[in-house]
Structure 1
Amino acid sequence: MQSLSRALTVLAELNREDRPYGVTELAGTVGLHKSTVHRILVTFCEHGLASRVDDHRYTALDGLAALRRTTDGRRGPERALADLGDRLGRLVVLAKPLPKMAGRVLQVSAVAGSASAAPVEPGHAVSLHRSALGRAYLSALPADQVTGTPDLLVTLQRIRVSGFAHNSRPVASLPRMVAVPVRDNDGRCAGALGAELIQAGSIEEVRRVVSVLRSGV
């Protein structure tokens, strides 16, 4: 029962404030070794109790309610994503904002297929301004809620018109991708769906992939 007690202690501390926590900070607060806290946090992420912001920071999700949603809905979204990956024959990535940091932090939520470049895994951070996933997401937010350089704002306006974003080179762990916004049942931006681009610069490929992605949104 000691391991359960440790996990509950970490979970309580993680939920104490509405912000990300560093592994070192949590370990010092609860009096556990950093490697123990890290293992607990990874388990929380796997079960929908926490989410990784970057390599060393984590934030709490919606507790047991999130756990129930993750368990109940696991087969549906994952199956749909796998079907898209099969149709396209390449990596497909779903990215979503952290619930408490919408509009500011985006991360990989689910992955299907395999990338030709570095592996992409759930929890990986997604660049809002540089990646196709990030820009597709930002383009679907209300314009008055998005700030950035003049070049970024012009790019987002073009994406709003075309309905998709793409990047011609890898960004962090993500390969070249094309992405479209994902909206919830109320029409609000809920994330972005993207697929790897195999033929760099091929507008025919971009159009085909975008068409398939839109069928899965």
Structure 2
Amino acid sequence: MQSLSRALTVLAELNREDRAYGVTELAVTVGLHKSTVHRILATFCAHGLADRVGDHRYTARDGLSALRRTTDRRPGSEHALAALGNRLGRLVVLAKPLPKSTGTVLQITAVADGAGAPVIRPGHAVSLHRSALGRAYLSALPVDQVSGTPDLLDTLQRIRLSGFAHNARPVASLPRMVAVPVRARDGSCAGALGAELIQPGSIDELRRVVSVLRSGV
């Protein structure tokens, strides 16, 4: 499943904007080695999912624009996210799995920033294992659906106990964040809600932001 997760993450990022992407740019954004991204892109080209348009530059094949759509664009949910952003005065994002990819890849579906113009846009691919958003999401999936290194599994267990995940360092183009799982009406995990951490070492800030995020879940 790890190889599928990596491929879907690259595919989502490749479809984020209607332009050509360089191998290095994609590798940095999704947090994978350049050789891994290059092999994935070569596979996409062989199966008609992408086109090579120059020296180490690729673009998504026409017809895959649906991957750039958000999975929940209801006015009510956007208003609620904007309210959280204004309340915290910082970047707040909602990430959800792409259709039919539960447990393998996340994508930013809505963004609000109470402090100014957001730097993260809907359609941005999210690292499952390295980001707070990804780990918060994975922690809420059934245990038998999640695989990974012993360190990752231990981290997910700690997140289940605390109810939130956080990263003290930026991950790809995402800033330092704290995130909580988002549940669907049936109790299943529908995604993750995260906010930027201004003072990553502050326990008081962490608790306050988590409390606000939980109020919006």
Q: TM-score, normalised by structure 2?
A: 0.69
Q: How far off is 1:114 after superposition?
A: 6.3
**Separation in 1 of the partners of 2:132 and 2:152?**
12
Q: 1:26 to 1:168 in 2, by over 3 A?
A: closer
Aligned positions, number: 168
1:184-216 CA-partner distances (Å, limit 9, x unpaired): 000000000000000121111000000000000
2:89 corresponding residue in structure 1:
89
Q: 1:173 to 1:23 in 2, by over 3 A?
A: farther
Q: Which amino acid aligns with 1:51?
A: L
2:28 corresponding residue in structure 1:
none
Counterpart of 2:67 (choices 51, 54, 70) is 51
Q: Which amino acid aligns with 2:130?
A: R
Unaligned runs of 5+ in 1: 1-20, 29-33, 45-49, 53-60
Q: How far off is 1:100 after superposition?
A: 1.1
1:175 corresponding residue in structure 2:
175
Which segments of structure 1 move beyond 3 Å, counting only runs of 4 or more? 21-24, 34-38
Q: How far off is 1:149 after superposition?
A: 0.3
Q: How far off is 1:27 after superposition?
A: 7.3
1:47 corresponding residue in structure 2:
none
Structure 1 or 2, whichever has the larger Rg, is: 1
* Greater RCO, 1 or 2 (C-alpha within 8 Å, sep 6+): 2
Q: TM-score, normalised by structure 1?
A: 0.69
Q: Percent identity?
A: 72
Q: How far off is 1:85 after superposition?
A: 0.2
The 5 Å alignment of 1:106-125 reads 106-113=106-113, 119-125=119-125
Unaligned runs of 5+ in 2: 1-42, 52-57
Q: How far off is 1:74 after superposition?
A: 2.3
